[in-house]
Homo-oligomer: A and B are copies of this chain.
């Protein structure tokens, strides 16, 4: 255990700065809870107006405490916090937790205060938890250093789940709910604004903690994605699953997270893709968050073939239906399973749910079906539903589940309020769920659980050289024009539609230039000052001849000049007409929370209306790009759906992978880039970029 881990979770001495003697005050609670849960170290209330607080000698300031303070917990009104922190630094306190709010989460003034705070800490040996943090609990060491009122609960169960929460209140709620069902934690910590100690740093402490086997995150945002990716890999190597419950899945929730904790305004979908990419399993049902660790502790997923068995048709259907809504179709019992059961005198059908009915509600039948399911290599996990018998007769169908010795996951759903059966199953380490949505969600998360992906190291000197031609001279970024952007994509290796560039005056075009064009063609105005060409009449399709081209260009000039009199017209872009099967948008950008992301979806407004876009941290390999393509519903049209002609999915995957590498070059950094549209031709005929955009970040 590092000295920091010790100072945070197992301090030998704690100073409670702002400890109140009034037991109705929140600032009286940590002292009370530490005593109640048997804190074994030394406790120092800091309160300049009192000689004694709750039976302990009080000190005017932390510098007056006669021993070295490992952990100081600050509960002062905002305006007194900085002075107290200065004291702590002076006293060489190892970890300072600031419960007070009014910092990074509180607008510009708060941000300034937080910056000042960090100035005070800079260069010191003191580390900071918070501000706006509700404290830490280490159940194995009897440390309950928090003002959360649920700590009034006696006999909190000890366990192996380490919880890191961006919400202090929810840390308490999860602890309380776990205690009610006998689910224990090792350590719990509320991180507040993460001004210093981050979620990632705490994950590493949990990885190193021998009492923690499963790591849980209750998060609203990601503050350091590179670091979190690194420690998630460490957790994976240590075989410690990380489960996350994430706020901000809806647009309004995302907006709240920003105002609530000063979170970065990233997109919820990017964070979701990021967590999945680093091997963190996202649990979407709140109740499942408590019961899922038992499922994830068992084994990693080998596939998503889930067998379903039940003593009750209705209860079984409840689970099968909830799984179906999450795109998990339970697997019918394999023929080999049915044959082996038949040999044991048990006949089951091939419906996706094995409904044993009342007649099969006994240990022999239920046990045999479960055993054969678990022994089958065609089944990756089993969901076992038990109906009314589970309330008063666990010996019937619950006992054989408890007795099972397979390490293959069995998720149990009990239809009635069967407390004794729940207890038996939990004691045996078997995941048991009381809500059908929780059961289905945990299974979904388990089947979707992946090992952290190692991001490829890509070096494209040729592309860097291209980008360096446009290196911004100052701190503001630069938007390349269409021709420059397309040159970058061409340099990456993505085929472009044929283009001919013509000057700004149609009258002076040479006959040979115009004759060499392949008709029918597309005419576009070329101007960095016209970002939305279509809207000002700057695009014309289906031009059939040279004379039509000249006429169209003349008309276009008039229209554009009328709409944007000050636009500098560089000339005209003429492009061959390409008819493909689909027009796709491939883009990269930097999400404020989750970092560089690659996205792909159908072009046009429907992708936005349906939110039908696949996202991944960039870069991605072609294999990963194929996985992305399969996530976009609209792309089913390109893969043989209803006998529609197949598109060149391989070429699309290659293009996605190439575009994603733009985020790895560090000549001038790419802020954002997209090809829109990228036309997908028939299988074997490739893709063609028709238009593109590259925006470079300003210099550092």
**Chain A interface (Cβ < 8 Å from any Cβ of B):** 26, 101, 147-150, 152-153, 165-170, 172-173, 176-177, 179-180, 218, 220, 247-253, 255-257, 259-261, 285-287, 311-318, 320-325, 329-330, 351-353, 355, 357-358, 387-389, 391-393, 415-418, 435-437, 605-606, 609-610, 612, 633-634, 636-637, 641-642, 644
The answer on a CB contact under 8 Å between B149 and A389 is yes
Give complex CA distance A437, B417 in Å.
Answer: 19
The answer on a CB contact under 8 Å between B435 and A170 is no
Question: Which 9 residue pairs spanning A and B have beta carbons closest together?
Answer: A167-B314, A250-B324, A253-B321, A176-B416, A169-B312, A173-B415, A180-B417, A170-B314, A149-B388
User: What residues on B are CB-neighbors of A169 within 8 Å?
Assistant: 311-315, 387-388, 415
The answer on a CB contact under 8 Å between B321 and A248 is yes
The answer on a CB contact under 8 Å between A317 and B610 is no
Interface centre among A324, A329, A416, A644 (most CB of B within 10 A): A416
Give complex CA distance A184, B292 in Å.
Answer: 31
User: What residues on B are CB-neighbors of A355 within 8 Å?
Assistant: 260
* Distance to closest chain B CB from A266 (angstroms): 15
Give complex CA distance A148, B392 in Å.
Answer: 11
* Distance to closest chain B CB from A113 (angstroms): 17
Give complex CA distance A150, B315 in Å.
Answer: 14
Between A and B, 10 residue pairs with Cβ closer than 8 Å are A147-B358, A148-B388, A167-B314, A173-B415, A250-B320, A250-B322, A286-B318, A605-B644, A606-B606, A610-B612
The answer on a CB contact under 8 Å between B637 and A610 is no
The answer on a CB contact under 8 Å between B321 and A436 is no
Give complex CA distance A57, B116 in Å.
Answer: 88
A611 nearest CB neighbor, chain B only: B633
Give complex CA distance A147, B357 in Å.
Answer: 13
Interface centre among A147, A253, A392 (most CB of B within 10 A): A253
The answer on a CB contact under 8 Å between B610 and A633 is yes
A608 nearest CB neighbor, chain B only: B642
Beyond A148-B388, A605-B642, whether A417 also contacts B320 by CB under 8 A is no
A320 partner, pick from B180, B252, B322, B437, beta carbons under 8 A: B252
A167 nearest CB neighbor, chain B only: B314
User: What residues on B are CB-neighbors of A311 within 8 Å?
Assistant: 169
A438 nearest CB neighbor, chain B only: B435
Beyond A179-B417, A253-B321, A610-B612, whether A387 also contacts B172 by CB under 8 A is yes
With A169-B314, A249-B325 given, name 15 new contacts (CB 8 A). A149-B391, A167-B313, A167-B315, A170-B318, A173-B415, A176-B417, A179-B417, A220-B314, A249-B324, A252-B352, A256-B316, A256-B352, A256-B353, A286-B435, A286-B436
The answer on a CB contact under 8 Å between B256 and A317 is yes
User: What residues on B are CB-neighbors of A312 within 8 Å?
Assistant: 167, 169-170, 173
User: What residues on B are CB-neighbors of A435 within 8 Å?
Assistant: 286-287, 435
User: What residues on B are CB-neighbors of A247 within 8 Å?
Assistant: 314, 317-318, 321
User: What residues on B are CB-neighbors of A387 within 8 Å?
Assistant: 169, 172-173
User: What residues on B are CB-neighbors of A261 within 8 Å?
Assistant: 313
Beyond A153-B391, A261-B313, A437-B286, whether A253 also contacts B605 by CB under 8 A is no
The answer on a CB contact under 8 Å between B253 and A320 is yes
User: What residues on B are CB-neighbors of A437 within 8 Å?
Assistant: 285-287, 437
User: What residues on B are CB-neighbors of A329 within 8 Å?
Assistant: 252
The answer on a CB contact under 8 Å between B260 and A315 is no
Give complex CA distance A317, B166 in Å.
Answer: 12
User: What residues on B are CB-neighbors of A393 within 8 Å?
Assistant: 149
Give complex CA distance A435, B353 in Å.
Answer: 27
A250 partner, pick from B147, B325, B418, B609, beta carbons under 8 A: B325
The answer on a CB contact under 8 Å between B388 and A150 is yes
User: What residues on B are CB-neighbors of A321 within 8 Å?
Assistant: 247-250, 252-253, 256
Interface centre among A286, A316, A352, A634 (most CB of B within 10 A): A286
Give complex CA distance A148, B26 in Å.
Answer: 49
* Distance to closest chain B CB from A148 (angstroms): 5
User: What residues on B are CB-neighbors of A436 within 8 Å?
Assistant: 286
Beyond A169-B388, A177-B417, A388-B176, whether A351 also contacts B259 by CB under 8 A is yes
* Distance to closest chain B CB from A98 (angstroms): 14
User: What residues on B are CB-neighbors of A418 within 8 Å?
Assistant: 176
User: What residues on B are CB-neighbors of A313 within 8 Å?
Assistant: 167, 169, 256, 260-261
A637 partner, pick from B389, B415, B609, B642, beta carbons under 8 A: B609
* Distance to closest chain B CB from A344 (angstroms): 22
